[in-house]
Amino acid sequence: MNYCGLLTAQKNPVPLQSVEVELQVKDHVATVISTLNYQNKEDKPVEAVFVFPLPGDAAVCHFSAKIGQTHIVAELKEKQQAREEYDDALSSGQQAFLLEESEQSPDIFSLSVGSLPPGESASIRLEYVIELAVEADEGLRFCLPAVLNPRYQPQGMETTTRSLRLPRLPSEVPYSLSFSARVSSPRPVSKVESSCSLEPLQFLNSDHTEAAVKLAAGHKFDRDVELLIYYKDAHQPSAVVEAGQDSAEPGTLLGDPVVMLSLYPEFPESVMSSRASCGEFVFLLDRSQSMDLVLHQLLSFFQDTLLFLLKSLPMGCYFNIYSFGSRYESIFPMSVEYSEKSMEEALKKVEMMEDDLGGTEILQPLKHIYSQPCILNQPRQLFVFTDGEVGYTKEVLDLVRKNAASHRCFSFGIGEGASSALINGLAQEGRGQAQFITGSERMQAKVMQSLKFALQPVVKDISVTWDLPEGVSATVLSPPITTIFQGQRSLLYAQVCGKVLVRSHIFCVKLYVVWFRHEQKTTFSLISVPFSFSSVQRLTVHRLAARSRIRSLEFEERENRGKSDEDVKKKVVELSVQSGVSSGHTAFIAVNKDSGDAVQGPLVRRDVPTPASEPEPPRRDPLLQLVSLQKASGCWMLDAALASVLGKNNKEVEESKPAEVSSEVWATILDEWELLAVKAASWVQAQNAPCVKECVDAANALLGCRVQKEALGL
């Protein structure tokens, strides 16, 4: 048998026995408590290393270990100091545990369980808090990654001495998973769905604002556990005010209240009606060998998705398609004007693509794209499709941030184990939106939502003002809001300072937005609520706010390389230690100083494997044939191919057509599909066609539908 990863001399699995996960969701943030149970079944002491993924924007806030009856709570310390204490403990024969974030990517953590004697068991508990992403269908998404795919390191790039090896098993992992979730919100929970089998949802009160759910028995931790939580009236602005910690000093982050605002502004009709009819749309596809377990299946997803995208682009825009691996190539030397001819040429080349471009080197194609001059009055919109398996995430994000003023970036994480740090970071730094597509999940709906956002007007300036009680001030901890979309949530954290607040105090927040081509400032009165303090004392909001501020400082540090680095690093370490939230400059260290006699014998190093990704074969969308027949202008031709897709023969369609109407208008009115339908309706309107109502009525009769003319925008 061809084993993957490191095993014992007897080819037994390394000593991770089980994983227990408890998810506690409060509105749209979550606390995740994971317990990892180890046992050394060898006749020698071991150092077990488990490399695992966490969401890139997670705030790790607790780490402890239990060995026998001894319980040790880890401390956060400056990373190099923590490493030295860990090594010193091992050399002294003491049991030690080290949890640290990878220097290459903030979504990779390594847990070193050092000096575990023969037969000894250890239970590791770690806790983190995270914001839940909003999906295209308004569900809140939580993902527990099962797969950590190897991060690709280009030739010539140096790695750190603690660069992490990422072993994988072909299918099943030798440890079990138990998973439970508890959800509470001011709004009723309507449903909870998952990519895995769940036990029935249990409502815990009569108004359905609290619910609990568990994974069904027998789950094998061979794929990501994805949970989608749906609330009623999810798109309402809201605020959570979390009281400070009683034992913390006022004026510090933990000692003062922290406000978390959830913003869902409704844009005025004057803005939304001016949907962009121009733009430069650049699509960047991952064709690397890091995808070879999935890309031969997902390549058809890419091709189908590009079909939807290209058919939906507005006439008069520009576009190009790049693909990359260890090298990159483009369909056109530079972006070309969108037309029937250029669209057909691009689709033919997309159909010929194969997964043959080597490693995952995304930096060079990004540099090339940014080096291309922007086209006058054609805002650049970049769509990136990748599994995110790169070993230099921070360098990629630095590049995107430096070019943020020239474009918007919409990123898509493909497959199990996609790097959340890279995918979310691309969107955050590129003022766009991130989406994750796993297994056989339908890609088109998420991609089309991002295209709708890309067609919304570009924001020129965003500002926020606070109306607070006298003697009270707010210090915003989040990075400045640089982009906002109709239908997308934005979160904002602020530390509230000043006199003691009471529930009768009211605060109001207003958002001011200026769009390009709409120079008049638009004001949104987003929230006006009393200071109603959260009764939960987990400090979830404080820790997320600290994580937000730490990430801002880390970006500032990389941007201002030089003398100021040490000052910024000092701020990060101080805030990290004070708030108990991990950072790139700190690590959790726990040492059992009462472990008794020194462990005898050499220490054996073992790595814990993670499972290989095995996506299900993709299913071709039944609408794709219909979409493929649409012309670049938005119309369809009345022919046998269209009749076949509609489930009719050519004669039936011809005989149903009103006599006064052209074949193209009749064929176009037969179809409706999101942006494709908008484009089709615009084409029909441009024809000044008579008898539109009669066409819609005849199409309803032919296809058995009940579509109203107004629903088509006609």
Domain of 310, CATH number, reads 3.40.50.410
Q: What is the pLDDT of residues 204-228, one digit of tens each?
A: 999 999 999 999 887 766 677 889 9
Least confident span in 30-44, 140-154, 680-694: 140-154
Asked if the structure places residue 175 within a domain, the reply is yes
Q: How far apart are CA 653 and CA 650, in angstroms?
A: 5
Q: What is the pLDDT of residues 31-63, one digit of tens each?
A: 999 888 877 777 777 676 666 667 767 888 888
Same-domain status, 62 and 198: yes
What pLDDT is attached to residue 368? Answer: 95
Q: What is the pLDDT of residues 672-683, one digit of tens each?
A: 355 666 667 777
pLDDT top residue among 552 and 660: 552
CB neighbours of residue 329 within 10 Å: 14
- Domain end point (choices 435, 454, 473): 454
DSSP 564-606: THHHHHHHHHHHHHHHT---TTEEEEEEETT--SPPPSPPEEE
pLDDT top residue among 601 and 361: 361
Residue 45: burial class (beta carbons within 10 Å; 0-12, 13-18, 19+): buried
Asked if the structure places residue 615 within a domain, the reply is no
What pLDDT is attached to residue 157? Answer: 43
| Containing structural domain, residue 475 | 238-265+459-577
Task: Compute the average pLDDT of residues 364-390.
Answer: 88
pLDDT at 458 over 90: no
Asked if the structure places residue 271 within a domain, the reply is no
What pLDDT is attached to residue 160? Answer: 35
- Alpha carbon distance, N-terminus to C-terminus of the chain: 64
Task: Compute the average pLDDT of residues 407-431.
Answer: 84
Task: Please answer whether residues 286 and 386 qualify as being in contact, where contact means their C-beta atoms are separated by less than 8 angstroms.
Answer: yes
Same-domain status, 477 and 562: yes
Same-domain status, 550 and 484: yes
Burial 628-662 (b: 16+ CB within 10 A, else e): ebbbbbbbbebeeebbebbebeeeebeebbbeebe
What pLDDT is attached to residue 67? Answer: 76
Task: Please answer whether residues 260 and 239 qualify as being in contact, where contact means their C-beta atoms are separated by less than 8 angstroms.
Answer: yes
pLDDT top residue among 426 and 467: 426
The DSSP secondary-structure symbol of 253 reads T
Same-domain status, 419 and 468: no
Helix (H) or strand (E) holding 712: none
Same-domain status, 644 and 606: no
What pLDDT is attached to residue 162? Answer: 35
Asked if the structure places residue 248 within a domain, the reply is yes
Same-domain status, 337 and 418: yes
Burial 591-603 (b: 16+ CB within 10 A, else e): bbeebeeebeeee
What pLDDT is attached to residue 275? Answer: 56
Least confident span in 229-238, 346-355, 614-623: 614-623
- Domain end point (choices 427, 454, 481): 454
Pairing of strands 140-144, 202-203: unpaired
When mean pLDDT is compared over 81-95, 254-268, 380-394, 504-518, the highest value belongs to: 81-95
Provide the H-helix boundaries in 403-531: 420-429, 444-454
User: Nearest-CA neighbor of 140 among 52, 238, 46, 45?
Assistant: 238
Helix (H) or strand (E) holding 681: helix 674-686
Same-domain status, 296 and 307: yes
Q: What is the pLDDT of residues 532-582, one digit of tens each?
A: 555 555 788 899 999 888 887 876 776 665 445 788 888 899 999 989 998
What pLDDT is attached to residue 422? Answer: 86
Task: Please answer whether residues 140 and 130 qualify as being in contact, where contact means their C-beta atoms are separated by less than 8 angstroms.
Answer: no
Task: Please answer whether residues 366 and 402 qualify as being in contact, where contact means their C-beta atoms are separated by less than 8 angstroms.
Answer: no
**What's the structural domain count of the chain?**
4
Provide the H-helix boundaries in 195-324: 269-272, 295-312
Asked if the structure places residue 159 within a domain, the reply is no
Instruction: Compute the mean pLDDT over every residue in the chain, rounded to the nearest whole number.
Output: 76
pLDDT at 198 over 50: yes
Domain of 518, CATH number, reads 2.60.40
Helix (H) or strand (E) holding 502: none
pLDDT top residue among 103 and 283: 283
pLDDT top residue among 551 and 415: 551
Percentage of residues in the chain having pLDDT higher than 90: 16
- Domain end point (choices 420, 454, 488): 454
Asked if the structure places residue 5 within a domain, the reply is no
pLDDT at 433 over 80: yes
Asked if the structure places residue 255 within a domain, the reply is yes
Same-domain status, 474 and 588: no
Asked if the structure places residue 9 within a domain, the reply is no
pLDDT top residue among 345 and 714: 345
Same-domain status, 447 and 542: no
Same-domain status, 421 and 478: no
Q: How far apart are CA 249 and CA 691, in angstroms?
A: 74
Same-domain status, 182 and 245: no
DSSP 14-47: PSEEEEEEEEEEETTEEEEEEEEEEE--SSS-EE
Beta bridge partners of 127: 33, 62
Same-domain status, 116 and 22: yes
What pLDDT is attached to residue 58? Answer: 82
